[in-house]
Amino acid sequence: MLGARYERIAVNMAMDHHAFRPTNDVLCEAFRTNGSRMVRRLRGASIGFGFIAEAGHSPSYAANSGNPGDFEIVAIADISAARRAAARRVYPSARVYDNWERLLNKEASNLDFVDITTPPYAHSEIAHAALNHRLHVLCEKPLAASLEQAQSMVTHAANARRVLFPCHNYRHAPVVKAVRSLLAQDLIGPVQLVTLQTFRPTHARGVAEWRPDWRRESKYSAGGIAMDHGSHTFYLAFEWMRAFPTSVTPKLRPAVITIPRTTLVALSHSQLALPSQILPGLPECGKFTIHFTEQWAPSPLRMMKLE
C-alpha cells in the first residue's frame, strides 16, 4: 500500500453505450496523494468482467497505465468461464479467478483498490470484503441494492479510512460538462426547470455468456429503470440545483400505453434542503418532481421540475 493518504479517487468510466462514447478527457482522474512526490502505478482488481468492464472500464485502464501514478489491473474475477477467457484476452498478464473471494484471499496484499462491476446485488458484500482488506473501492452504479446497504458501505469506508467511489460517468459526458460551465458562469440565471430524457427500445442487455437479461431479474438488478438509470438523474439534479432532497413521495401507476412490463414511477414534491455544512450560504427552498418511465419501446426517463 502507498504510505501517503489518498485524497480521492474519481475514476468515471463510459460504462453505458446509451450515454456517450469514451474519450480520454472524460474517462478518469487517477488516485491522488498528498504531497508532490512521484508515486508508483496503483494495482487494482476487476471483479465482474461483463459488458461494462470490458467495453467501458478496460479501455480507460489501457489509456492510463503507462506512467507513475497511473494504475494497472493485476487480477480479475468472474464466475463465467467464457468471461474469464475474455478477460485473459484483454489482460494477458493478469491473474484470473473464478470467484471474488478467492481473488481477495490471494491478492489483497498486492492490491490498492478493487473495481466492482458485477450486477448490483453483489456490490455491498464485495465492497465490505474489500474494505476489510483495507482496499479502496470503485463501484459501478447503483452503489447498492438498498439504502441500508449503501449506508453501511459508507460507514465502513469512513471507519476504514478508505475511498468508496461510485461510477457516475454521466458527470463527465461532454454535454454535462458544457451545462456545468454555463451554470458556473451564471449565463442563464437560477435554474428553474431541468428535463432529462433517455430513449431506448429495451433494457441495457448484458453479455451473451452470462444472463444477458439480468436487468429484468430483480434478484440481480434490485429494481427496474429507476434503479438502473435513477442514479444518473439524481446526481445530476443535485449538482445543477445545488440541493439535496429531505423527503420523497413515490407513486406507481400503470402506463396508459399497453406494453409488457410498462411502469411509471413518479417521485414528487421532494423538499429541497441546503445544509449549511454542505452548501453554506444558499436558501432552503424549492421542489422538484422526477418521473421514470420504463417500457420496451422508445420512451423518456423524465422530468425534474424545480418550482
**DSSP labels for 97-137?**
ESSHHHHHHHHGGG-SEEEE-S-GGGHHHHHHHHHHTT-EE
- Asked if residue 292 lies in contact with residue 301, where contact means CB atoms within 8 angstroms, the answer is yes
The reported pLDDT for the residue numbered 240 is 86
Cell of 102: 478467492
Residue 99 makes CB contacts below 8 A (sequence gap 6+) with 77, 79
What is the tens place of the pLDDT at every residue in 215-264? 889 899 998 777 888 888 888 888 888 777 666 666 555 544 333 333 33
CA torsion through residues 124, 130, 131, 136, sign: negative
Q: What is the CATH number of domain 6-170?
A: 3.40.50.720
Instruction: Work out the average pLDDT over 152-174.
Output: 94
- Any idea which of 51-60, 86-95, 296-305 has the lowest mean pLDDT? 296-305
Distance CA 183, CA 261 (A): 38
Residue 98 makes CB contacts below 8 A (sequence gap 6+) with 77, 78, 79, 81, 84
Buried b (16+ CB within 10 A) or exposed e, 229-254: bbbbbbebbeebbebbbeeeeeeeee
- Say if residue 303 is preceded by a cis peptide, omega within 30 of 0: yes
| Domains in the chain: boundaries | 6-170, 190-305
- Asked if residue 206 lies in contact with residue 149, where contact means CB atoms within 8 angstroms, the answer is no
Residue 31, pLDDT > 60, answer no
pLDDT confidence bin for 191, thresholds 50/70/90: confident
Q: Residue 239 has what DSSP assignment?
A: H
What is the tens place of the pLDDT at every residue in 96-122? 999 999 999 999 999 999 999 999 999
Distance CA 29, CA 20 (A): 18
Residue with more model confidence, 245 or 208: 208
Instruction: Work out the average pLDDT over 270-297.
Output: 38
pLDDT confidence bin for 71, thresholds 50/70/90: confident
